[in-house]
Structure formats: C-alpha cells, structure tokens
Amino acid sequence: MTITQPVPGPLPPLPTIPSEEQTPLVKVLLALLEHYQATDEQLRTIIGELEQRVCALEAEVQRLKNLPPRPNIKPSALDQDRDDDDPPPGGGASGLSKRQRRRSGKRNKRLSIHRRVVINPEYLPSGSRFRGYRDFTVQDLLIAPLNTQYRLARYETPNGEHLVAKLPHTSTMPTSDLP
C-alpha cells in the first residue's frame, strides 16, 4: 500500500539580487535556500527509489501469501462513432449486463445443440430491417439430451420500433422431428 501525498513542485528560481544590496541576513537566507534546493533534489530522488522498493516488496508479500496479483484495469472503451446499421456490441442483448451475457455464454458453449429453430415475428410491417437473432437455449431431457436453440428474429420497423419473435409454448413445441 503506497501512501502518496501531494508534494509541492520544485522551487522557482531565485531572483538575482546585486551583491551591494545584499544584507548579511539576505546572504544567509540565500545560502539556506540553495542548500535546501540541493537537499530537495536529493530527497526527491530517494523518495522515488523508496516508492519503487515499496511496490516491489508489496508484490513479493502478495506472492508469498499466494494472493492474486494486482488487477490490470484497462481504461474504459466507450462506443466509438458507429453506424446506425451496425448492431450494438455484444450481440444485441442490450437488456442484459456484460456479466449476465458472459455467464450464460460460457455455459452454452459446452452444450451441443441438437436442433436449431428460427422463429420469425408473427406480424412484420413492410420495410422492416433484419437486425440479427436473440438466441434462447432450452435444455430438455428425453432419454437422450435434446438442446434446442430458438433463434428469435429481431427486426426494426421503419418507425424505429424493434420487434422480436415470441417463443412457442412448451406444450406446442414439436418433438416429432427428433434426431
């Protein structure tokens, strides 16, 4: 843990005072200022070396205690100017946080999908643009596992409204075309 307190910057350069105007007190004060400036530079160098040493010792303590290393936090990457036709980052599941999308994606990666069903919206106005799919995975268990991924089609209407297909009711889901 490093404690950093605000340290004032180096002193401004001293004004030149002609020697005939220097009183004995001014001469002593000028000598003290020169001494303190030299000391200040030395102390700043020592403080920098000590801060590096403290960071190295903290890292060694973390390693010896088997603590995780310090996180590498990257600066925020805000959305750059993107075209209106581009889907939003992350596949378009804008209602979910990154953590929720990532968590379900990891689980779904291990599943083998036995059947994919594409579902279009019931009502689709003319001029609507296709905006991709919102995947919804259902894991059923029949004597053998049956993983169905319903691809709910998403469209944007000419007036800017978004339409997403609805999932079928579980009682009406087809089971006759099983592998």
Q: What is the pLDDT of residues 92-145, one digit of tens each?
A: 545 555 555 555 556 667 788 888 999 999 888 999 999 899 988 888 876 767
| Strand locations in 53-144 (E) | 115-119, 129-141
Q: Identify the domain containing residue 149 by its residue range.
A: 98-171
**DSSP E strand stretches across the chain:** 115-119, 129-141, 145-156, 162-164
Indicate if 162 and 110 belong to the same structural domain.
Answer: yes
Q: Does residue 121 lie within any of the structural domains?
A: yes
Angstrom distance (rounded) from CA 154 to CA 157: 10
Q: Tell whether 9 is covered by a domain.
A: no
Assign residue 91 a region (left: φ > 0; alpha: ψ between -120 and 50; beta: otherwise).
left
Judge whether residue 21 has pLDDT over 80.
yes
Contact 14, 26 (CB under 8 A): no
Provide the number of structural domains found in the chain.
Answer: 2
Taking only the tens place, the pLDDT of each residue in 40-86 is 888 889 999 999 999 889 888 888 998 887 788 888 777 555 555 55
Question: Is residue 2 domain-resident?
Answer: no
0.85 surpassed by pTM: no
The whole-angstrom separation of Cα 2 and Cα 9 is 20
> Has residue 29 been placed in a domain?
yes
Domain assignment present for 167: yes
Q: One-letter amino acid identity for 158?
A: P
Q: Are residues 106 and 166 in the same domain?
A: yes
Final residue of a domain: which of 39, 64, 89? Answer: 64
Residues 161, 114: one domain? yes
